[in-house]
Amino acid sequence: MGKMKEIVMNDLPIVIERKKIKNMYLRLLPPQGEVHISAPERMPEEEIRRFILLKYDWIVKQQLRMRQRPEQKVLAYESGEEVYYRGKKYTLQVIPSAGSMGVSLLGDNLILRVKQNSSPEARAKILNLWYREALTEVIPELLHKWEKVIGVKSSAFTIRDMKTRWGTCNIRTGKICFNLQLAKKDRICLEYVVVHELVHLLEGSHNKVFKAYMDQFLPNWRTMKKELNS
C-alpha cells in the first residue's frame, strides 16, 4: 500500500494514496461514497486539488445517488430467497444432503445441496464456488474472442469477490481480475467488463482515448455498463 494522506476540500474528506503509477485515478467507495484518489508519487498536491475541484460537482452528485440506494439484502441462504445467475432470478431451494454437496438448476429454482444444519457461511461458500466455476468456464472464451479483435493479449486472469470494482487490469503484467459477482449478471455485462479491461492494455486511464477505443470495439458499451450497474 502506498503513502496515505487525508485532506478536506469544501467540507469533503478525501483520501490520497501515493503509488508508483503514471496517471491519477478517482474512486468512490460504497456505501457512502468515500472519495479515494490514487496519484503518482511525485505529482504536486496542488495538481491533485485542481483535479478534485474539476470533479467536485460530479462527486457530490454520485455520493447522493450512492447514499439513496437501498441497502443490499443479506442472504441467510434459506429456501425461498431470491438469488441470481446470468441475469436471471431464481428461487433458492436448500436441500440437506448426506452425499455430495453442490448446486444445480431446475426450472426457476436453484437447488443448493448442503450438509444438515450447515451455517449460512458454509452455504455461501458452496454457491460462490459454483459461481466461480461458471465464470471460469466462460471467461477464456470471451478473452480469446476480444483479444483478437482489440489486438492485445492478457497474461492471466483471476476471480475475486471485490466490493468496489467489476474488474481490474494490471497494465504492467497484463493480468486481469474479475469480480465473482459477475456470475449473477447477464453475459453481456461480463462481455463489457472483458472488453473494458482489455482496452486498458491500450490505454490505462478512463480518458477520451479510452472511450474512443470503447466506441470503436463495443459501440453500445454505455448501455451495457448501465445494465451492469442496475
d(Cα 168, Cα 11) in Å, to the nearest integer? 30
Cut 0.75: pTM above it:
no
The three cell numbers of residue 152 are 492485445
Exposed e or buried b per residue across 100-137, where buried means at least 16 C-beta atoms within 10 angstroms of its C-beta? ebebeeeeeebbbbbeeebeeeebeebbbebbbebbee
The three cell numbers of residue 186 are 447477464
Query: Which of residues 220 and 74 earns the better pLDDT score?
Result: 220
d(Cα 76, Cα 36) in Å, to the nearest integer? 32
d(Cα 94, Cα 215) in Å, to the nearest integer? 44
pLDDT tens-digit series, residues 2-22: 688 899 988 889 999 998 888
- The per-residue pLDDT for 69 is 59
Q: Which CATH architecture has domain 132-229?
A: 2-Layer Sandwich (3.30)
8-15's contacts with Cβ under 8 Å and 24+ in sequence apart are: 9/49, 9/52, 9/53, 9/56, 10/56, 12/52, 12/56, 12/59, 12/60, 14/52
pLDDT surpasses 60 at 148: yes
pLDDT surpasses 90 at 150: yes
pLDDT tens-digit series, residues 49-107: 999 999 999 999 888 877 765 555 678 899 999 999 999 999 999 999 888 899 999 99
Label residue 170 left, alpha or beta by phi (over 0 means left) and psi (-120 to 50 means alpha): beta
Among 114, 115, 116, which Cα is nearest to 92's? 114
d(Cα 99, Cα 77) in Å, to the nearest integer? 19
Cβ–Cβ < 8 Å for 75, 124: yes
The owner of cell 474512443 is: 212
Q: Indicate the domain borders of the chain.
A: 3-68, 132-229
pLDDT tens-digit series, residues 161-207: 987 789 999 989 999 999 999 999 999 999 999 999 999 999 988 89
Helix (H) or strand (E) holding 78: none
The three cell numbers of residue 85 are 445467475
